[in-house]
A and B are shown apart, each in its own frame.
Chain A
């Protein structure tokens, strides 16, 4: 990791292990003495919260798999049996189902934080790109998991999403058939989705390892977006940020628990308590809330292939952000124009999500939602591909502070404190 190691093995056993597999040294350097900017705020605690979310999903998921039956005839009933018969099954399943939503809440905050403070800019491009990959894997895992319930929304969501691939010219329908293992979503599809749903979280865990590894080379960005210059700018990760992360994790878990115990179906769709029926499409197919903005983009384009390309492009675009942003200043705190455009972008994502949640022919204040979705989709792409490169060149940033320490402690930090 960055800088020379400060680990000194104390006991004989520690020396013996250190000479053979320096795992204690790795833990010491990354989780204890790791120099961390002293000005990280609440929004920087979501990395730890996300790790917690992944652990919760894996633990509850492994347990649920002990009771779940991946068979089109039995899946729906086995979920009901988990809810009614399995000891604490209701709790474990509600934690898992709401855990997925909490995971996405945390990841969206984490991503918007990265966007706002310019955490994707050099030398952190790979951290960002690996993060986009994790986000993609999360969407895949969540989609597979949602299908396993085998309710009406599970089935028709799976039908719509797998049919996206049929938009590919020539080979599209063959790919869809290959994904299904049949001529429609059915038992074969359910079985393979179960297999993949069990696999993907462990891939995510491995990629999270890369994400943290890449983070520990340049170290954390910070709300000022300026580089760490002297040891005065940092504090050791433990106890400063272990405690800060733990505090906000507790607040997060309280919110999590409120949903699990008081509104466990808040994020769910009532139609998914009806068993999958291949002959009846529910009047309004809606994906889970975290996919709604992309779904709105898909629906707003009146051409199948173009719709799929726009939806995929919205995610692929994220990969290019490090090079689309031409500004020399990272943090939006010092970017008066970009700050506004950022908030417009955040609002446009929420509007897109609303459009995706509504029936296809609905209007808001007389304007058809499909047109609102088209405009916000335009802003989504315009923000990244047009505004970001141009604003970075013409905007005059505010004056940056001389150092993190000076910004936090005042001018007295100019002289070493100790």
Chain B
């Protein structure tokens, strides 16, 4: 009696587990399209590539271009701003990584690793805290304590290389993939 019972139980257990497993696979197969449909569509993914003309940008000036729905900062740094950025000890930074998509992710956040040409700082203008657009600092209208940007939403301050120095933002402003087509033209994306 006990033997037949356990024997029948084993066959039944197998059927339970097998049908349960097939059912789980079925549920997952149905759930995934319903979840994945919310990810960016093919149209949104189609590479957003923008070219920016640098010829009209003056030293100390920042131009904002729209790129993949985000503001893109194109800033022509003055020699003083470059010098200020180079003087910073990387070890003292809240985020010691370059966050530069053109470099390996382990690259340190030196000034040289934040740019291709020192004069031109190209950044995605999205605060790494909660996504606001930081306001640029100029000698005439300083924003924040480090001469770069101040995010008015929650007070994050960036320096003249777009590195986070103070406030809640965890990472340096992201440097997008870009290249120089000529001395006065870049391609972003």
Contact = CB atoms under 8 A, between A and B. Distances in A.
A183 B132 contact: no
Contacts of A159: 130-132
B66 A281 contact: no
B40 A281 contact: no
A305 B155 contact: no
Contacts of B68: 183-184
Given A188-B40, A283-B152, A285-B132, A305 B170 contact: yes
B132 A281 contact: yes
B131 A301 contact: no
A199 B41 CA distance: 23
A281 B71 CA distance: 10
B168 A160 contact: no
Nearest to B133: A281
Interface string A154-193: 0010011011101000000000011111111110100010
Interface string B55-73: 0000000001010111100
B40 A304 contact: no
A181 B41 contact: yes
A171 to B, nearest CB: 13
Contacts of B126: 184
B34 to A, nearest CB: 12
A182 B130 contact: no
Contacts of B168: 299, 301-304, 307
Contacts of A284: 152
Contact of A181 (B38, B132, B135, B169): B38
A279 B40 CA distance: 20
Interface residues of B, number: 30
A418 interface: no
B153 A281 contact: yes
Contact of A279 (B71, B128, B153): B71
Contacts of B70: 183-184, 278
Contacts of A178: 35, 38-39
Interface string B20-46: 000000000000000100111100100
Sort chain A's interface into a size bin: 35 or more
A285 B151 CA distance: 11
Contact of A281 (B44, B152, B170): B152
A111 interface: no
A283 B155 CA distance: 11
A360 interface: yes
A304 B169 contact: yes
Nearest to A303: B168
A162 B169 CA distance: 15
Contacts of B131: 159-160, 162-163, 166, 184
Contacts of B133: 279-281
A185 B44 CA distance: 12
* Most central of A164, A302, A359 by chain B CB within 10 Å: A302
Contacts, number: 92
A160 B39 contact: no
B142 interface: no
Contact of B154 (A156, A181, A278, A299): A299
B66 A183 contact: no
A262 to B, nearest CB: 32
A304 B127 CA distance: 11
A155 to B, nearest CB: 11
Contact of A360 (B66, B71, B155, B170): B155
Contacts of A181: 38-41, 44
B79 interface: no
A183 B38 contact: no
Contacts of A164: 130
Nearest to B154: A299
A164 B132 CA distance: 12
Nearest to A176: B131
A179 B69 contact: no
A186 B132 CA distance: 14
Interface string A292-316: 0000001101111101000000000
Contacts of A307: 168
B9 interface: no
Contacts of A283: 135, 152
A360 B153 contact: yes
Given A278-B71, A302-B167, A360 B154 contact: yes
B174 to A, nearest CB: 10
A180 B44 CA distance: 11
A183 B71 contact: no
Contacts of A182: 40, 44, 69
Given A181-B39, A182-B40, A156 B170 contact: no
Given A182-B40, A184-B69, 16 more contacts: A156-B132, A163-B130, A166-B131, A178-B38, A186-B69, A278-B70, A280-B133, A281-B133, A281-B134, A299-B168, A302-B167, A302-B168, A304-B129, A304-B130, A304-B170, A360-B153
18 contacts: A159-B132, A160-B130, A160-B132, A177-B40, A181-B38, A181-B39, A188-B40, A278-B66, A278-B69, A279-B133, A283-B135, A285-B152, A298-B154, A299-B168, A302-B168, A303-B170, A360-B152, A360-B154
Q: In the A-B complex, list the 8 residue pairs whose CB atoms are closest, starting with the nearest.
A: A184-B69, A163-B131, A163-B130, A281-B133, A360-B155, A160-B130, A159-B131, A281-B132
